[in-house]
Amino acid sequence: MPILTVEKLTKSFGGLTAVSNVNMEINEGELLGLIGPNGAGKTTLFNLLTGVYVPTTGKIVFRTKKGEESIQGLRPYKICGKGIARTFQNIRLFKNLTVLDNVRIAMHKDIQYGIFSSFVHGLRYNKEEKKIVEESIKLLEILGLDKKKEELANNLPYGEQRHLEIARALATNPSLLLLDEPAAGMNPAETTELISLIRHIREEFNLTILLIEHDMSLVMQTCERIYVLDYGKIIANGTPEQIKSDKRVIEAYLGEDVNNA
């Protein structure tokens, strides 16, 4: 059953059509890849799905427990509230805050006390804050960051910042997780570790994952199905085997050997 359906989605910036007439279907529980050359429109597609940009035309339908809803054009916090979380290609952590605070902030949308109780720190406050800290630490343990919870996000090494981005996205309790080049800047060992981590969190949190990745080997190894974007258009969609032998994909990646991956 599709958890997300994208219909004829288009986004133009002035004369440039970054995403053009895209159709997509993501099934529940899938680990899906989204690949394409630099500037193909992958990040723009994420920005459309998460409400950072409003689509020029087209439809995005997301299935929650309450049923199917059109979410195109909704504000990002509302889309997050429905269960779509993301990481950013250009890491956007709350740099001057601690690792723990980064995760706690992402739990805010489910907080069970109001602004007025925050003035007096009542019983509700104590109970909720304790719960948030415990849950945050659990997430940090999964991502191997629990020992660094008091460090400033800015002081983490690059790879750990990417992990923290994932922890923060998970803290919003999503059903669909969008990862924008999570392995960028990582060495091969870190990338291997990341692959098993992604598989683990999918099981642990019952997630559907859409993954943008530049590293072909990572995508071919991890993803069950792959969409290929080129100049804003979907040019292919299929299993890693099918994608590797697709003529148009090979053309799009002219110069890069797909089969080498």
Partner 1 sequence: MREMKSIFKASNVVKLVFIVLTYLLVQFLINIGIITDYYQTTLATICINIILAVSLNLVTGFTGQFSLGHAGFMAIGAYACAIITLKNPTYAGFIQGVAAGAILSAIVGVAVGLPTLRLRGDYLAIATLGMAEIIRIIFTNLKITNGAAGLQGIPRFINWTWLFVFTAATLIIISNFIKSSHGRACIAIREDEIAAEAMGINTTKYKVAAFVIGAFFAGVAGALYASYFYFLKPNIFNFAKSVDILVIVVLGGMGSLTGSVLGAAILALISTFLQRFSEVRMIIYSLILIIIMLFRPQGIMGSRELSLSLFKRAASKIEPKVGKERS
Return residues touching ligand ADP (CB under 6 A). 13, 16, 18, 36, 38-44
Closest CA to 161 of 92, 110, 225, 96: 92
Applying CB under 8 A, among 22, 74, 106, 201 the residue interacting with partner 1 is 106
Q: Is 251 exposed, middle or buried (0-12, 13-18, 19+ CB in 10 A)?
A: exposed
Q: DSSP letters along 32-79, please?
A: EEEE-STTSSHHHHHHHHTTSS--SEEEEEEEETTEEEE-TT--HHHH
Write the CB contacts of 78 (distance below 8 Å, at least 6 apart in sequence).
51, 71
Nearer to Mg ion, 87 or 222 (CB): 87
The footprint of partner 1 on this chain (CB under 8 A) covers a number of residues equal to 41
Cα distance between residue 8 and residue 11, in whole Å: 10
Residue whose tokens read 């069970």? 112
Stretch that binds partner 1, among 18-26, 74-82, 219-227, 233-241 (CB under 8 A): 74-82
Q: Contact 112/171 with Cβ under 8 angstroms?
A: no
- Shortest distance in whole angstroms from residue 42 CB to Mg ion: 5
- Shortest distance in whole angstroms from residue 238 CB to Mg ion: 22
85-104: which residues touch Mg ion (CB under 5 A)? 89
Asked whether position 90 contacts partner 1 by CB under 8 A, the answer is: no
Query: H or E stretch including 170?
Result: helix 158-171
Asked whether position 93 contacts partner 1 by CB under 8 A, the answer is: yes
220-249: which residues touch partner 1 (CB under 8 A)? none
Applying CB under 5 A, among 11, 26, 32, 43 the residue interacting with Mg ion is 43
Q: Which residues of this protein are in contact with partner 1, per CB under 8 A?
A: 50, 52, 75-77, 80-81, 85-86, 88, 92-97, 101, 104-109, 111, 113, 115, 118-121, 125, 128-130, 132-134, 168-169, 171-172
